[in-house]
Amino acid sequence: MEASADHSGMPPRLALRHITKRYPGIVANDDVSLTVQPGEIHAVLGENGAGKSTLMKIIYGAVQADAGQIEWNGKPERIATPAAARHLGIGMVFQHFQLFETLSVVENIALALEGHFDLKTLAGRVAEVSRKYGLPLDPQRLVHSLSVGERQRVEIVRCLLQNPQLLILDEPTSVLTPQAVRALFDTLRQLAAEGVSILYISHKLHEIQELCDRATVMQAGKVTGEAEPRQETPASLARMMIGRDLPVCSTSAFAGESQPVLEVRGLSFANPDPFGTSLHDVNLTVHSGEVVGIAGISGNGQAELLAALSGEQISAPQAILLNGNPVGNLHAGRRRDKGLAFVPEERLGRGAVPAMTLAQNFMLTAHRNPDLRSFGLMSRTRARLHAAKCVERFDVRCNGALSAARSLSGGNLQKFIVGREIMQNPRVLIVAQPTWGVDVGAAAFLRQTLLDISRSGVAVLVVSEELEELFEICDRIAVLAGGRLSQPVPREQTDAENIGLLMGGQSQAA
């Protein structure tokens, strides 16, 4: 369904003319030009690090171009700040959330709005808009208690309340349920029909095909082509993005003797946060040589379960066993000492410290490795060498081990964090949302990496909202709904429909 309004004869809503942006050691945008028409849904495609997010930040006034010109509704415009962009009618939903943890949903939204209003009235508008667009939110809930998926809803609703003429969406569906994606697409089509232009960044090629009118393809900061997504296939779009055929994961059966490595026995947790989720009698076993997946809609206890497994939340000693030893009462560092590695869903802030270099971030979890020590002390030189090996081995696109974590694209930072944990030679690896916001090539690489490490004898537990991902790499799949975990079932004995029923809280056997 395409926008039905006729906007012919009108100047482009947005025109970029020869935009260039340089950073030390890299040209993020190199002579980029593109136009977006009124009522058009326009995709920007490219690998992680292709320059898409930098370009969007220039449009939104968060970053200033070194050269080039922006035209807005046919007139040259200098967009100096995000406030100036919002005043023009440009709204943006960032891939990395722009929220204050200690404020409520409605308070965070109020910060981006102009004019006079009271919070009570605004809270009513937030609740109304979130229901209308299938993005349910409690306006009074504090952001620090929200899951990643719920925080994404806040970002989207905040943008919609500003009645934008141009809406920029950077990976908006990464942590949304299929039902919420459908509702969002209906919303975007309606906005386009009303004349709102939409710039849409996503690595989900089937979404681009379904939703977008045109696509601009970028590689290494340059525009390398345009396409009409509905005339293409996912394979042809992938070739345009990454310059080769889309890789396909391959696997074989584990050749060794499978043993239980991670065991969860009757784990319960009464969450003191009234907006959080409690865990109820969770039981799970992950064996060496297998990948077990946990599916579920955001906010159903994933954060609480991950905190309990990683050691951020202490439980009864016998509730969690690692290699047969009770570890439920051990903190995260002690569990890492015993062979557990963990990749959190939030890359910046929890997976890596933004201002630190990759070498420094490598040391945060690898300091137990004797190879990083010299005379009993941590060696910065050795840490830098190991971080450089991680960069090379896991194809992290950056300027080397001394690059700041925040300078990497989301996908490349994710490859570094996963690689760092794998290089610790863990017995069990727990990964949350492994390919959130990651391009198709990097996603295939990460999935193959998880398969390979499992077949080397590591027990791998993956928590993901991407059903396609779970069915591609998991040997068994369970569902977390309302803090209760279903019995894991072999992948070949279930399908997405049955898993979806369980995700919705229905108790049918998968």
Give the pLDDT confidence of 12-25 residue by residue, as tens digits: 999 999 999 998 87
pLDDT above 90 covers what percent of the chain?
A: 57
pLDDT band at 239 (very low <50, low <70, confident <90, very high): confident
Higher pLDDT, 508 or 442: 442
Question: Do 301 and 199 share a structural domain?
Answer: no
**189 and 135 part of one domain:** yes
Torsion 418-421-423-429 (CA) sign: negative
Give the pLDDT score at 6. Answer: 54
Rounded CA-CA distance 90/148 in Å is 24
Average pLDDT over the chain, rounded to an integer: 88
Residues 271 and 313 reside in one and the same domain: yes
352 shares its domain with 222: no
CA 454-457-458 angle, to 5 degrees, is 55
Of 208, 242, 276, the domain-final residue: 242
Q: Pick the closest to residue 115 from 87, 155, 79 (CA basis).
A: 87
Work out how many domains the chain is built from and give that number.
Answer: 2
**Residue 9 within a domain:** no
Domain presence at residue 151 = yes
Q: State the residue range of the domain holding 151.
A: 14-242
Domain CATH for 36: 3.40.50.300
Domain final residue pick, 210, 242, 274: 242
Report the percentage of the chain scoring pLDDT > 70: 94
pLDDT at 471 over 80: yes
Which residues neighbour 320 within 8 Å (Cβ) at sequence distance 6 or greater? 262, 263, 264, 265, 267, 308, 309, 326, 327, 328
Report if residue 252 sits inside a domain. Answer: no
Burial class for 162, CB neighbours closer than 10 Å (0-12, 13-18, 19+): middle
| Same domain for 104 and 20 | yes
* Same domain assignment for residues 184 and 281: no
Alpha helices in 286-379 (DSSP H): 302-310, 332-337, 358-366
Instruction: List the one residue out of 116, 112, 54, 109 whose CA is nearest residue 83.
Output: 112
> Do both 77 and 191 map to the same domain?
yes
84-121 in b/e form (b: 16+ CB < 10 A) is ebbebbbbbbbbbbbbeeeebbbbbbbebeeeeeeeee
Considering the domain boundaries, does residue 443 fall inside one? yes
Structure tokens at 230: 């509905």
The lowest-confidence range among 19-23, 77-81, 251-255 is 251-255
DSSP 136-186: ---TTSBGGGS-HHHHHHHHHHHHHTT--SEEEEESTTTT--HHHHHHHHH
Pairing between strand 214-219 and 222-227? Answer: antiparallel
Give the pLDDT confidence score for residue 179 in this predicted structure. Answer: 65
> pLDDT, tens digit, for every residue of 287-316?
999 999 999 877 789 999 999 999 999 999
User: Are residues 46 and 141 both part of a single domain?
Assistant: yes
DSSP 331-356: -HHHHHHTTEEEE-S-IIIIIB-TTS
CA nearest neighbour of 42 among 133, 182, 166: 166
Tens-digit pLDDT profile for residues 196-230: 999 999 888 888 999 999 999 998 899 999 999 99
CA-wise closest residue to 214 among 9, 47, 11, 223: 223
Please report whether residue 5 resides in a domain: no
Confidence of residue 177 (pLDDT cuts 50, 70, 90): low
323 and 207, same domain (yes or no): no
Residues 443 and 330 in one domain: yes
Q: How many CA atoms lie within 13 A of 458 on its CB side?
A: 25
pTM of the model as a whole? 0.72
Pair 205, 293 in one domain: no
Q: Is 249 part of a structural domain of the chain?
A: no
Which of 88-102, 236-250, 463-477 is the least confident region?
A: 236-250
Does the pLDDT of residue 9 top 80, yes or no?
no
In this predicted structure, what is the pLDDT of residue 221?
A: 92
Band the pLDDT of 148: cuts 50, 70, 90. Answer: low
Same domain flag for 187 and 292: no
Asked, for residue 251, whether it belongs to a domain, the answer is no
| Residue 181, in any domain of the structure | yes
